[in-house]
Amino acid sequence: MPQPRWYDGPLAAFDTETTGVDVEADRIVSAALVLQGSPGSQFHARNWLVNPGIPVLDGARAVHGLTDDHLRRFGSRPGPVVEELARALARQSAAGVPLVVMNAPFDLTLLDRELRRHRGTELARYMAHTPLCVLDPRVLDKYLDRYRKGRRTLTDLCAHYGVPLTDAHDAAADAAASLHLVREVGRRFEARIGDMAPGELHARQAVWHAGQARGLQAWFSRNGTGERVDPAWPLRPEPLPRAVPAEPAA
């Protein structure tokens, strides 16, 4: 009897909403972990709401609708929340369940920085025995359908693959859509990635993302754009501390 493909088995999905788009300075305001045992089965979601302690930028608030007042009134302290998040992801990792994260270097890096900020530790410590196995629909789609034109946001990918997305920019809704999306990508490109084990697919995505980042960086350079593209996936390394200029000699 043939083994079930990875996209027909249990998957978990993680998503955050934030105060802004800078993983080094911004904070988590909401997060969700969504579980599904098989295609078409019920989703099980856990949600967190956080009082980040800093203002939500206007652009971020316009996206997810979470105001400073709402977060102060109903959000939990960030330290316990990010601890719960890290432990919840670690449990899925220990159980051998792949974790779907759309644009993983953003959400996972942000969680890592929040752990460093509030718990004095890093995300990798929670995965010391079983590292995360991540499936990123953005990386997969860009590699498998490389020459398709157009944007590749979650909304765009869901439209392209026929995945319903209701209540976009709600963390649980986005996580559920990302999970459904990864299953659809797996089915559509079954001949190319269907036989891979999730661990092999994780390793290949790191290589594919690095290649995609180099291509985008070259495009930015040709067009005189100073923007830098980080090739690390699924987690960006902690930036090196900036050198402090030496005091001039007296």
Question: Of 32, 171, 23, whose CA–CA distance to 109 is shortest?
Answer: 23
Mean pLDDT, all residues of the chain = 94
Q: 112-147 pLDDT, tens per residue? A: 999 999 999 999 999 999 999 999 999 999 999 999
Domain chopping of the chain, boundaries: 6-222
pLDDT surpassing 60 at residue 244: no
pLDDT of residue 228: 84
Phi-psi region of 149 (alpha: psi -120 to 50; beta: other; left: phi over 0): beta
| pLDDT (mean) for 67-87 | 98
Topology annotation, domain 6-222: Nucleotidyltransferase; domain 5 (3.30.420)
Distance CA 233, CA 210 (A): 7
Q: How confident is the model at residue 224 (pLDDT cuts 50, 70, 90)?
A: confident
> Any alpha helices (H) in the chain, and if so which ranges?
58-64, 68-74, 78-94, 104-119, 123-126, 137-144, 154-161, 171-188, 190-193, 198-222
pLDDT in tens, 156-203: 999 999 999 988 899 999 999 999 999 999 999 999 999 999 999 999
pLDDT of 116 = 98
Q: Report the DSSP pairing between strands 44-49 and 11-18.
A: unpaired
Taking the model in full, what pTM does it have?
0.93
